[in-house]
Amino acid sequence: MKNLLIPLAACILLSCAAKEPALKTAFDGKFILGAAVNTVQITGADVKGDSVLLRHFGAVEPENCMKSAEIMPVFGQYNWDMADKYVDFGTRNGLLVYGHCLIWHSQLTPDFCYDKEGNLISPEELKARMKQHITTVVSRYKGRIKGWDVVNEAILDNGEWRPSPFYQILGEEFIPWAFQCAHEADPDCELYYNDYSMHIPAKLETAIKLAKTLQERGIRIDALGFQGHIGMDYPNLDLYERHIRRVKDETGLDVCITELDMSILPTVTMSADIAEMSRVERQAFFNPYENGVPEDVNAAWNARMGDVLDMFLRNADAVRRINVWGVSDDDSWKNGWPIPGRKDYPLWFDRSFNMKPFLSKYINGTK
C-alpha cells in the first residue's frame, strides 16, 4: 500500500501543478529561465521541488556538485556520482544544462595549487593542472552542457584581482588560460566569467577590461555572469541597469543573471553584526521573520523583485538568462549566510512551493 501511495501523491502533485501556466513560457523570446539544483532535486528526493522545477523552469545550474572540491576531492581523483546524476537529470527532463564552475578559489580541491610540502606549485605545473582538470570535466560532458562558468569571483569589490592561489602563481593570466582550455575541450560550449556585486563600478570596470582582453586575443567568452545576490536596500536598480547596458555597449557581450536571490532580512555587512547575532537580545533584530513575514514587508519584497524583473525585461536584448539560486525558500543558502540559523525568504517559490505574488502578472500574460 505504502508503495502505491508515493507515486499516487506524486501524480496528484504533478496534475495540480499542471493546471498553472508555466512561468518559463511567459519569458519565451526574452530570456532563458533556470534554477539552481542540489542533491535533493537531482535525486528526486524533493518531489514537490522537482514538480515546480520541471513545470516552471527551462534550465538548471548545479548549486554545488560540480565545484572542484566536490567533483575532485584530491587532485586527479574524481568522484563523478552527483555531477553525472545532475547532467542526466537535466538531459532526461529536456532542460538546458549549465556548468558551475571550473576555476574558483572557494570550494577548491585542497591540493589543486600546492605540492606535497604545502608550497604553491610553479606556474608551469599550475597551467598543466588547470588544463588537465578543465579538459577532463568539460570533455566528459561535451555536447550536453550549454555553457560553463569558467572562472568565478576573481575580482575584488575594489576592482583589484583577488589574491587567490591561482593569481599568486600565474597573475591574471590564469583567466585567459582557463577560457582557452575550456574552449579547446568543447568548442561549441558557451563560456562565462561570473562574479557577485557587479553593481560596484570598480568591479565592473575590471570585468569589462577582462572581457575586452579575451576578445582582443580571440579567446571565446559569451557573457558576463552577474550573480544577483541582492537585498532590499542594494543595489540601486538604475545603477544595475546601467551596468548591464555598459557590458552590452562596450563589449557586445550579453549578461547572464546567474544566481538571483533577494534577502528579505536586514543586510549584514560587518563581522561585528555577526558577533552581535550571538547575543540573545539582538537575535530578534537580525532574524525577525522566524514565524512568518508581515504583510507589508512581503508586499515590499514582491514590489522590489517585480521591479528587478521588469528591469531585466526592459533589457532583454542584453540579458540572455535568469537563473534563480534555488527552487523554494527552504533551499536557499541565505538561511545560513552570513549568519547561520536565520530564516530568509529570497526565492521565487515559498516554503509551500507556491509562486510568489509578483509573478502572477507575468504568468497571466498581462505583461
Fill in the DSSP letter of residue 359: G
Residue 139 in 3-state DSSP? helix
CB of 181 to ligand 9MR, least distance (A): 20
Residue 107 sits in the site that holds ligand 9MR (CB under 6 A): yes
Q: Number of C-alpha atoms within 13 angstroms, CB side, residue 165? A: 22
Which among 354, 303, 363 has a CA at the least distance from the CA of 330?
354
Closer by beta carbon to ligand 9MR, 121 or else 256: 256
C-alpha cell at 263: 534577502
Residue 109 sits in the site that holds ligand 9MR (CB under 6 A): no
CB of 260 to ligand 9MR, least distance (A): 11
* CB of 60 closer than 8 Å to CB of 98: yes
Binding test (CB under 6 A) with ligand 9MR, winner from 15, 79, 93, 106: 106
Closer by beta carbon to ligand 9MR, 66 or else 244: 66
Residues 201, 249, 176: CA angle, nearest 5 degrees: 70
Among candidate residues 61, 63, 241, 259, the one labeled active-site is: 259
Length of the chain: 367
Ramachandran angles phi, psi of 150, nearest 5° = -80, -50
Positions in 214-243 near ligand 9MR (CB under 6 A):
227
CB of 217 to ligand 9MR, least distance (A): 26
Binding test (CB under 6 A) with ligand 9MR, winner from 333, 338, 361, 363: 333
Asked if 259 is an active-site residue, the reply is yes
Closer by beta carbon to ligand 9MR, 63 or else 330: 63
C-alpha cell at 276: 552581535
C-alpha cell at 94: 529536456
Residue 302 sits in the site that holds ligand 9MR (CB under 6 A): no
Q: How far apart are CA 327 and CA 171, in angstroms?
A: 37
Binding test (CB under 6 A) with ligand 9MR, winner from 46, 50, 259, 330: 259
Asked if 295 is an active-site residue, the reply is no
CB of 196 to ligand 9MR, least distance (A): 6
Fill in the DSSP letter of residue 28: T
Among candidate residues 61, 63, 153, 241, the one labeled active-site is: 153
Fill in the DSSP letter of residue 211: H
Residues identified as active-site = 153, 259
**What residue ranges bind ligand 9MR (CB under 6 A)?**
63-64, 106-107, 152, 196, 227, 259, 333
